[in-house]
């Protein structure tokens, strides 16, 4: 997952950490390709402080939904909602499969994520562009 926007605009739960991706060659190459073709300190990702990855947030949401919890009650929903409300653009993918991401609107994003979480293996592929992020 990579995000583009002002770090100080977003408010996340204490167990999540915002990390600049400036030194990560792979994430920077994705950012250059997808996020305005520029290397920037406005490109960053989110990790869970305990697991040091973002995957745990997605797998936990998938587990909770499979056990009957509503998507809106998951930490993943809270994180995505914070990004959307803060007008942060972001891309979500697994492995090297970032070339053909589904572009989703603000109206579609939560339905898209929930539908993909219900699928096995529950991998999410999407690109959300905030309205004013690419001006």
Rounded to whole angstroms, the Cα distance separating 72 from 84 reads: 14
For 19-29, what is the mean pLDDT? 86
For 131-135, what is the mean pLDDT? 52
Whether the predicted pLDDT of 4 surpasses 80: yes
Q: For 26-72, what is each residue's pLDDT tens digit? A: 888 888 888 775 555 678 899 999 998 899 999 999 999 999 999 99
Name residues whose C-beta falls within 8 Å of residue 9's C-beta, 6 or more positions apart in sequence. 86, 87, 88
Rounded to whole angstroms, the Cα distance separating 2 from 44 reads: 6
Q: For 79-125, what is each residue's pLDDT tens digit? A: 999 999 998 999 999 888 898 899 999 999 999 999 998 886 778 99
Rounded to whole angstroms, the Cα distance separating 38 from 48 reads: 26
Element (H, E) at 17: strand 16-20
CB 34 within 8 A of CB 92: no
Looking at residue 63, its pLDDT comes to 93
Looking at residue 83, its pLDDT comes to 94
Name residues whose C-beta falls within 8 Å of residue 133's C-beta, 6 or more positions apart in sequence. 4, 5, 87, 88, 89
Looking at residue 62, its pLDDT comes to 92
Domain boundaries, the chain: 2-128
Statement: the pTM of the whole predicted model exceeds 0.95: no
Pairing, β 43-48 against β 2-4: antiparallel
Looking at residue 12, its pLDDT comes to 87
Whether the predicted pLDDT of 134 surpasses 70: no
Looking at residue 41, its pLDDT comes to 61
3-state secondary structure of 93: coil
- The torsion angles phi and psi of 126, rounded to 5 degrees, stand at -160, 160
- The torsion angles phi and psi of 60, rounded to 5 degrees, stand at -65, -40
């Amino acid at each position: 997952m990579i995000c583009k926007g002002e770090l100080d605009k977003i408010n996340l739960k204490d167990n999540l950490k915002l990390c600049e991706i400036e030194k990560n060659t792979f994430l920077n190459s994705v950012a250059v390709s997808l996020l305005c073709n520029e290397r920037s300190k406005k490109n960053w990702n989110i990790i869970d402080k305990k697991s040091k990855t973002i995957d745990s947030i997605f797998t936990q949401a998938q587990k909770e939904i499979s056990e009957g919890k509503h998507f809106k009650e998951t930490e993943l929903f809270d994180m995505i909602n914070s990004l959307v409300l803060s007008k942060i653009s972001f891309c979500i993918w697994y492995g090297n499969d970032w070339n053909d991401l589904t572009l989703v609107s603000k109206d579609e994003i939560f339905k898209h994520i929930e539908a993909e979480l219900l699928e096995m293996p529950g991998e999410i592929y999407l690109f959300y562009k905030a309205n004013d992020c690419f001006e």
